[in-house]
């Protein structure tokens, strides 16, 4: 594994940029939508219930400090990688994607990945397009060896994108929130090694050439 800074990237339809303070309000405005945060499982330890989390998200004045601290921490934690996604050549913000240390392991060669996308741009394959470029960077340049992550079963667009990237399901677990009687969300656990991902990329490129 190498310690290198994240860099800006570009795909056919996206500009994948380093986050700034200025755009955090607009990312919050996406994440506070219930049809987005219902699947966003990154902070259950801070809240007892999912509903509590959703309600806390509605106040920008309270959330601003948390969002700005994330930018500050990017400079402090060289192993945290976060990008903001824009439609290519525009100021239209699409969402966010993160690859960070996996809390289950001390090994920094194993990471966790996640994203959220503005509903206006969901269903267009943009998360897959961004993840493909970002994971190439993480596996080829940062030289991590594995990504283990989770995806809510009720959000098939997420875990199907992961499978398309070469991930395989390993099991099913409950989400971390405690209001399980009303909000009983289950998640798939998925993983992908460097070799699995790169082989999947090669096979996908071969298929494109044959078409």
pLDDT digits (tens, 9 = 90+) for 27-37: 999 999 988 98
Query: What global pTM score does this model have?
Result: 0.91
**pLDDT score for 42:** 55
User: Which tokens go with 73?
Assistant: 């921490």
Q: Which string of DSSP letters, residue by residue, matches 75-139? A: HH-TT-EEEEEEETTS--EEEEEEEEE-TT-S-TTEEEEEEEE-GGGTTSSHHHHHHHHHHHIII
CA 207 to chain centre: 26
The set of residues, in sequence order, having a beta carbon less than 8 Å from that of 57 and lying 6+ positions away, is: 28, 31, 32, 37, 63
% residues pLDDT > 70 (the chain) = 91
Instruction: Assign domain 9-210 to its CATH superfamily.
Output: Gcn5-related N-acetyltransferase (GNAT) (3.40.630.30)
């Amino acid at each position: 594994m190498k310690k290198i800074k994240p860099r800006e990237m570009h795909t056919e339809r996206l500009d994948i940029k380093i986050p700034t303070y200025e755009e955090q309000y607009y990312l919050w405005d996406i994440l506070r939508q219930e049809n987005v945060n219902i699947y966003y499982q990154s902070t259950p330890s801070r809240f007892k219930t999912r509903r509590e989390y959703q309600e806390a998200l509605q106040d920008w004045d309270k959330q601003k400090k948390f969002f700005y601290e994330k930018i500050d921490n990017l400079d402090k934690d060289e192993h945290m990688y976060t990008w903001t996604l824009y439609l290519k050549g525009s100021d239209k913000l699409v969402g966010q994607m993160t690859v960070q240390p996996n809390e289950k392991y001390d090994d920094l060669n194993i990471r966790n990945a996640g994203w959220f996308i503005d509903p206006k741009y969901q269903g267009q394959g943009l998360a897959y397009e961004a993840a493909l470029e970002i994971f190439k960077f993480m596996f080829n340049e940062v030289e991590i060896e594995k990504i283990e992550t989770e995806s809510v079963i009720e959000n098939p667009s997420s875990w199907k994108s992961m499978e398309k990237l070469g991930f395989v399901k390993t099991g099913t677990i409950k989400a971390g929130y405690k209001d399980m009687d009303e909000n009983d969300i289950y998640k798939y656990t998925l993983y992908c090694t460097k070799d699995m991902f790169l082989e999947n990329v090669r096979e996908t490129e071969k298929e494109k050439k044959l078409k």
